[in-house]
Structure formats: structure tokens, C-alpha cells
């Protein structure tokens, strides 16, 4: 499988009253198409900043980020918005669903920005909801279903544009253990069946164990990059 994204000597710093604070430091990383990668690290390690850069929601201070063969640093705001719409699907800890819109309408929402007709939008949204096990709830409203079901809706919404990359930020953070396990099994199934690339940020080793590769950040640097089952966090202390 070919390369989907790569970071080359990436730095990210924020200006504060005490001067610039560097959050990511000379970070280099390659992720190939079809991989399922978990990014872990303690609070303040830089994992959320890295996720925002991967999702084209923020830009690096220096270094290069190549996504699907394009240098993200050379893209203007319109190009970045197009990449977020067409190449990347997002799943967040909060479900971010419209409470008064049906599940089909919520899932179809990203397709409006791609100027796809209403009937096609609805058909694709229904197909995605069926794929995540919600065929019987197409016309329900988000407040009428469980948290686990709402996260499945959010996953369907991320998938409906047929992106190359899914980015998930603490996707089980608002769920109980059993429901979180079901969501992670769904991610595994999506990765296995479609070959879609998945990158998730988590603080939970149990959640990370569903991925095939683990990237562990500490103080803005990668301290481990390899198989999940070979990682020993105590060795980093």
C-alpha cells in the first residue's frame, strides 16, 4: 500500500505571554493507506495538536505535511476546506448531532457542501446508517437513541463522503466500557472491510489495543512507533 500522509521535521509552537511554547518538536511520521493507527500520550504530550494538524484544522510552524500527495502548507483556505470535505472524515468525542434533525439528515449534512442532490444524499446516508447497524432508526431524532447509537451516527456521517482518511479524537470518551468496545469493533470492521485509513487519538490503552499500530507521544516527540502489543509504557518512565 502506498503512502497516504507523511510529516517531515514538523514543529508547532504557540505564542504565550511568556514567549513561544513548542508543542511538537521535529516530528516525522508516515502513515500508509489502509493502516489503523492509534496515537497515545499523556495530557500535554501534543497528541491533540497533532490531530488538528493531520485534519487540516491547524498548520505547523515549520516542517512539511504531505497528504494524499499534496503539500498542506502550500494550500490556501479554500483548498484546505476542500480537503477537509473530500479527503477526511472526522469523529469526535462529542457526537455533534443536530437534535431536531433525523439521523438521515444528520448523516447527509456533509454532502450538502459537495452540492449533491437531495435524493442522492438521502440514499447514501441511509446506506451508511445501515452499514453501522442503524437501519431501523433512519428517521429517529438523536435525543431518542442511546449514546452508542449516536456515535454510530457520527461515524456514518464521517463515512458518507467516502473519505480517504478517518480521524477520531477520543471517540469512546463519552461511552461506557461495553459500548466503547462495540464502537472500536466497528472501527476495526470498517478498516478491515473497506481498507479505509483510520487514525485515532486516545489516552486509553484498551482503546488503542484495537488498532494495529501505536504512536506514543511524550513532550511533543514520538517515543514509540510500532505494534500495539509490543508497547510497554513503563519502559518510557
**What pLDDT digit, counting tens, does each position of 130-189 carry?**
999 999 999 999 999 999 999 999 999 999 999 999 999 999 999 999 999 999 999 999
pTM recorded for the entire structure: 0.92
> HEC string of the chain?
CCEEEEEEEEEEEEEECCEEEEEEEEEEEEEECCCEEEEECCCCCCHHHHHHHHCCCCCCCEEEEEECCEEHHHCCHHHHHHHHHHCEEEECCCCCCCCCCCHHHHHHHHHHCCCCCHHHHHHHHHHHHHHCCCHHHCCCCHHHCCHHHHHHHHHHHHHCCCCCEEEEECCCCCCCHHHHHHHHHHHHHHHHHHCCEEEEECCCHHHHCCCCEEEEEECCEEEEEEEHHHCCHHHHC
Averaged pLDDT of the chain: 93
Supply the CATH classification number for the domain 3-87+163-236.
3.40.50.300
**What pLDDT digit, counting tens, does each position of 6-64 carry?**
999 999 999 888 888 999 999 999 999 999 999 999 988 999 999 999 999 999 999 99
Mean pLDDT of the 213-225 span:
96
Q: What percent of the chain has pLDDT over 90?
A: 83
Amino acid at each position: 500500500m502506498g503512502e497516504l500522509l507523511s510529516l517531515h521535521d514538523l514543529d508547532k509552537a504557540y505564542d504565550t505571554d511568556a514567549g513561544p511554547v513548542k508543542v511538537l518538536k521535529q516530528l516525522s511520521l508516515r502513515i500508509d493507506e489502509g493502516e489503523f493507527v492509534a496515537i497515545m500520550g499523556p495530557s500535554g504530550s501534543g497528541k491533540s495538536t497533532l490531530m488538528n494538524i493531520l485534519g487540516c484544522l491547524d498548520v505547523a510552524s515549520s516542517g512539511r505535511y504531505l497528504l494524499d500527495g499534496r503539500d498542506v502548507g502550500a494550500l490556501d483556505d479554500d483548498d484546505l476546506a476542500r480537503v477537509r470535505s473530500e479527503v477526511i472524515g472526522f469523529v469526535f468525542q462529542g457526537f455533534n448531532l443536530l437534535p431536531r434533525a433525523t439521523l438521515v439528515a444528520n448523516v447527509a449534512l456533509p454532502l450538502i457542501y459537495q452540492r449533491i442532490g437531495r435524493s442522492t444524499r438521502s440514499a447514501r446516508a441511509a446506506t451508511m446508517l445501515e452499514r453501522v447497524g442503524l437501519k431501523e432508526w433512519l428517521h429517529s431524532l438523536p435525543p431518542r437513541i442511546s449514546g452508542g447509537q449516536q456515535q454510530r451516527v457520527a461515524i456514518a456521517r464521517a463515512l458518507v463522503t467516502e473519505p480517504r482518511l478517518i480521524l477520531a479524537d477520543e471517540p469512546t470518551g463519552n461511552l461506557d466500557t461495553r459500548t466503547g468496545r462495540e464502537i472500536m469493533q466497528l472501527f476495526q470492521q470498517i478498516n478491515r472491510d473497506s481498507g479505509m485509513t483510520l487514525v485515532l487519538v486516545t489516552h486509553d490503552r484498551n482503546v488503542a489495543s484495537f488498532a494495529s499500530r501505536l504512536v506514543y507521544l511524550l513532550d511533543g516527540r514520538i517515543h514509540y512507533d510500532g505494534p500495539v502489543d509490543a508497547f510497554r509504557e513503563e519502559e518510557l518512565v
